Chains A and B, each alone.
Chain A
Amino acid sequence: MTVLRKPWAWAWIATIVVYAITIAATAGASAAGLAQAAFTFAAFGVIVGLGQMFVITLGPGNVDLSIPATMTLAGTLSLKLMNGADAMVLPGLTLALAIGTGVGLLNYGLIKVLRIPPIIATLALSFIVQSAAIWTNRGLRIKPPESLAAFSTGTLLGIPNLAIIAGLLTVVAWVLLERSIWGRRVTAIGQSLPAARRAGVAVDGVRLSAYVLCAMLAGLCGFLLACFSGGAALNMGAEYLLISIAVVVIGGSSVAGGNSNVPGIWGAALFLFLVVSMLNTYGFGAGPRMILTGIIIIAVILAASLRGRGTEGG
């Protein structure tokens, strides 16, 4: 039963249970369709969740609040640059990633120069980025290039293309976190910044790169979401602030930092979508769905604290 001991196991078990309950209501009729939808929508949560995970791993107080604004700005500007032309796909993607890089650099620049907590820095910058997005987005009804729109809604061997991209990124993130020296350093900083510093970790460089990576993934997610939904909307990133943090927490990563895992992000992202579908299937409205989501987040953090209490004595 070693799998059950993994911190991400619970998110996956819950996902499977919720999936089964939902399928039961429709007598198995929608099993494949539901799975496909779940993987498609979970992909967005996974992409931003991976970035947020690296930031949260850096330790208490580290969280990126600028993800929604970055998503909106990247989605808007890249669609504008591509202007529906298939030939411009690569420049569009590059622009989205460049916007992410810029936001990440500015985020850490503010943290470092103004010596303010990351929450305040990313909050202040998100206001400016959001405004830039609103400004560039006004009256914009640009559709994504045909090829991209088709790709983002398409499937390969029955698997949504978006889920494949998110899957590849997940593998990369897993290698970074679990196998690379960079991941070791991020995890060390999250356990104790002074200890990591004294052990010779270049803490500024590592923290900067985590913030840049997080913002780049937000940029990419905004790009994909804009293509998927046929255009960039101003509030397209709004719900991803809470989702990006929620998937990290529900996925079993420690909010206090230093102890994160990648598989839990997928479990949690699928779970969040499936809970909504399950309650939909059983005729619940948006209200109960949100209440349940909130209760689950609090229950997870409470359970984690109880578990922590158990081993602390040793």
Chain B
Amino acid sequence: MRPSSDLIRLALPFVALGALLGGVFWLQPRAMSYTGLNLLFNLAVPIALATLAQMFIIAVNDLDLSMGAFVGFAACVTATFLNETPWLGGLILLASVAVYAALGVVIHLRRLPAIVVTLGMSFVWLGLAVMILPAPGGAAPGWLRTLMTVRPPGIPMALAASLLIALAAHLVVARSALGVVIRGVGGNERSVARAGWSVLHARAAAYALAGLFGVLSGMALVGLTTSADANIALRYTLLSIAGVILGGGEFVGGRVSAVGAVAGALTLALAGSFLSFLRLSPDWQIGAQGAILILVLALRLGLDAIEQRRARA
């Protein structure tokens, strides 16, 4: 049996990640070590979490332009309230997840364009973050710091955590009934509604999950950097969208993959390190991320074209 197009699609992000990793190892064999890998994937965990958060929104055919600001907000709360008065910090983060769910409800009921609503929310999250932390500062709670810098035997923390996160998100998205309904809303909202499901609940749940993963991303970021800043994660908005698409996700139609999204995020995180090994200026780090995105999309188009030609034959 020849591999299906789904399989090729799913494999593409891993091929890109593998190729990039192979390139790094070839240029710098010393990177092929525990410490080397730890360095390469240093900031991969928060990026992966933010990408998964964005994935839940894209699964229901929406887009979140506030992801970066929200992660920054969660980071600021983590570095201040959660550190000083944990119960209050926890409450604030929980409330922010509830705000996300409420956004889903409003967007669904009023049929608002998610792009504009989240654009507005990005100002709100950024403003709140600036009020909490007017200047860079704060401190990571000790337990979080320990968690993020733990050195498990054999496999670097960043990779182990990414694997665990990917697995957890995969269980929610691909294995749970909720995940099926959320993707079903992205694929064919009408027929999901016709079968008696509440599309409103599904969308609210998708947004709540996005909020949850956004909060986790902010916490992980603070655990790694030990302090926070309102602008710390602004780039995550665009990175998270790119990560979902790199990971085999489609903008519309509910086609998303949690494992792919994490692979996409790792690829983006690696793109920067790859350049420095090539002795190319780190200035091109962002550019390399864009180029990889375009390359993968072009490859995907080519594969689809071949698939179609084969189907017609």
Residues of B within 8 A of A246 (CB): 119
Stretch from A40-48, A129-137, A225-233 contacting the other chain? A129-137
- Cβ contact within 8 Å between B289 and A294: no
Stretch from B122-130, B194-202, B255-263 contacting the other chain? B122-130
B85-126 contacts to A, CB under 8 A, are 106, 110-113, 115-117, 119-126
Stretch from B17-25, B32-40, B278-286 contacting the other chain? B278-286
Residue B242 lies at the interface, judged by CB distance under 8 Å to chain A: yes
Residues of A within 8 A of B306 (CB): none
Stretch from A8-16, A26-34, A112-120, A174-182 contacting the other chain? A112-120
A130 partner, pick from B112, B117, B286, beta carbons under 8 A:
B286
Per-residue interface assignment for chain A, residues 148 to 177, with 1 indicating a CB less than 8 Å from any chain B CB and 0 otherwise:
000000000000000000000000000000
Give A83 Cβ to nearest chain B Cβ, in Å. 21
Per-residue interface assignment for chain B, residues 275 to 303, with 1 indicating a CB less than 8 Å from any chain A CB and 0 otherwise:
00000010111111111011001100100
Residues of B within 8 A of A295 (CB): 120, 124
| B interface residue numbers (CB < 8 A to A) | 63, 65, 106, 110-113, 115-117, 119-131, 134, 234, 238, 241-242, 245, 251-252, 281, 283-291, 293-294, 297-298, 301
Closest Cβ neighbor of B132 among chain A residues: A287
A252-280 contacts to B, CB under 8 A, are 255-256
Closest Cβ neighbor of B251 among chain A residues: A117
Q: How far is the CA of A134 from the CA of B110 in the complex (A)?
A: 41
B285 partner, pick from A123, A131, A285, A302, beta carbons under 8 A:
A131
Closest Cβ neighbor of B298 among chain A residues: A114
Q: How far is the CA of A114 from the CA of B252 in the complex (A)?
A: 15
- Cβ contact within 8 Å between B116 and A294: no
A120 partner, pick from B117, B128, B251, B288, beta carbons under 8 A:
B251
Q: How far is the CA of A293 from the CA of B66 in the complex (A)?
A: 14
A127-B287, A131-B283, A287-B130 in contact; A249/B124 too (CB < 8 A)?
no
Give A109 Cβ to nearest chain B Cβ, in Å. 11
Residue A84 lies at the interface, judged by CB distance under 8 Å to chain B: no
Q: How far is the CA of A256 from the CA of B120 in the complex (A)?
A: 16
Pull 17 A–B residue pairs with CB atoms less than 8 Å apart, ordered by A.
A114-B294, A115-B301, A117-B251, A119-B241, A123-B290, A123-B293, A124-B290, A127-B291, A128-B286, A245-B115, A287-B127, A290-B126, A290-B127, A291-B128, A297-B120, A301-B113, A305-B110
Q: How far is the CA of A202 from the CA of B234 in the complex (A)?
A: 38
Give B19 Cβ to nearest chain A Cβ, in Å. 18
- Cβ contact within 8 Å between A135 and B281: yes
- Cβ contact within 8 Å between B119 and A135: no
Q: How far is the CA of A132 from the CA of B281 in the complex (A)?
A: 11
Closest Cβ neighbor of A256 among chain B residues: B113
| Known interface pairs A120-B297, A126-B290, A291-B123; 13 further A-B residue pairs with C-beta atoms within 8 A, sorted by A's residue number | A63-B115, A117-B251, A127-B287, A131-B284, A134-B286, A242-B123, A245-B119, A286-B130, A290-B130, A296-B120, A297-B116, A298-B120, A305-B111
Q: How far is the CA of A114 from the CA of B128 in the complex (A)?
A: 39
Residue A143 lies at the interface, judged by CB distance under 8 Å to chain B: no
Q: How far is the CA of A293 from the CA of B245 in the complex (A)?
A: 30
Residues of B within 8 A of A125 (CB): 290, 294
Q: How far is the CA of A294 from the CA of B151 in the complex (A)?
A: 41
- Cβ contact within 8 Å between B241 and A301: no
Give A264 Cβ to nearest chain B Cβ, in Å. 15
Residues of B within 8 A of A132 (CB): 287
- Cβ contact within 8 Å between A131 and B287: yes
Residue A208 lies at the interface, judged by CB distance under 8 Å to chain B: no
- Cβ contact within 8 Å between A294 and B127: yes
Q: Which 10 A-B pairs have the closest CB atoms?
A: A127-B290, A131-B287, A294-B123, A290-B127, A287-B131, A297-B120, A291-B127, A294-B124, A298-B120, A135-B283
